[in-house]
Structure 1
Amino acid sequence: MSKEVTERFSFINSVVGWEGQINATHVATKFQLSRQSASAVLKDYRQQYPHYLQYDASQKAFIATQAFNAVFINNALSNSFAQYLSAMPLAETISASQFTTHSNCVFEVEAPLRNINPLQIRPILRAIREQLQIDIGYISLSSPNYLDRIIQPHALIFDGLRWHVRAYCNKNQQFRDFTLSRFNGVATFEGKATHSAVQDKKWNTIVDVVIQADPRFSDQQKRIIEQDFQMQQGKKTIPTRAALVNYLLRRLHIDSYKNSPEEQQIVLTQASRKAIAPYLPQPT
Structure 2
Amino acid sequence: MDPRNDSPQQRLTLLELLLVWEGRIYRSRVCELFGIGLPRASQWIKEIRDLNPTWMQWDSKSRSYFVTADFYKRYTKASQASISESLSRYLSMVGLPYASALDDGTGVMWSATPSITAPSPKTFASLGHAIRQAKAVDIEYMSLSEPAPHRRTIHPHSLVLAGRRWHVRAYSETNQEFRDYALGRILEVKPLTRPSDRTRFDDPDWNTKVKVRLVAHPELSPEQARVIQTEYFNGTSSRVETCRAALVPYFIQDIRAAMDTEAQHAPEYLIAIENAREVSKWLFNR
After superposition, the C-alpha distances for 1:65-97 in whole angstroms (9 at most, x for unaligned) are 4443232444451342344345448xxxxxxx5
How high is the TM-score relative to the length of structure 1? 0.85
* CA distance in 2 between partners of 1:116 and 1:49 (Å): 24
* CA distance in 1 between partners of 2:90 and 2:111 (Å): 20
Local SS of the residue matching 1:261: coil
1:20-59 matched pairs, under 5 angstroms: 20-59=23-62
How high is the TM-score relative to the length of structure 2? 0.85
* CA distance in 2 between partners of 1:8 and 1:233 (Å): 47
Q: Would you say the 8 A contact 2:160–2:169 is kept in 1?
A: yes
Counterpart of 2:203 in structure 1 is 200
Q: CA deviation at 1:220?
A: 1.5
* CA distance in 2 between partners of 1:186 and 1:156 (Å): 14
- Counterpart of 1:118 (choices 108, 118, 121) is 121
Q: CA deviation at 1:55?
A: 2.9
After superposition, the C-alpha distances for 1:4-50 in whole angstroms (9 at most, x for unaligned) are 54443222101211233211122111112221221011112223434
Q: Would you say the 8 A contact 2:257–2:273 is kept in 1?
A: yes
Local SS of the residue matching 2:136: strand
For 1:17, the aligned partner's letter is V
For 2:273, the aligned partner's letter is L
Answer yes or no: is 1:156 the counterpart of 2:156: no
- Counterpart of 1:78 (choices 64, 84, 89) is 84
Counterpart of 1:12 in structure 2 is 15
For 1:264, the aligned partner's letter is Y
Q: CA deviation at 1:219?
A: 1.5
CA spacing shift, 1:19–1:201, aligned 2, 3 Å: same
* CA distance in 2 between partners of 1:190 and 1:151 (Å): 13
Counterpart of 1:137 in structure 2 is 140
CA spacing shift, 1:82–1:157, aligned 2, 3 Å: farther
Answer yes or no: is 1:267 the counterpart of 2:267: no
For 2:98, the aligned partner's letter is F
Which blocks of at least 5 consecutive residues in structure 1 are unaligned?
90-96
After superposition, the C-alpha distances for 1:76-128 in whole angstroms (9 at most, x for unaligned) are 51342344345448xxxxxxx52146646754222452252222333211111
Q: Would you say the 8 A contact 2:258–2:272 is kept in 1?
A: no
1:183-222 matched pairs, under 5 angstroms: 183-185=186-188, 187-222=190-225
* CA distance in 2 between partners of 1:177 and 1:28 (Å): 33
User: CA RMSD, aligned part only?
Assistant: 2.5
Identity %: 27
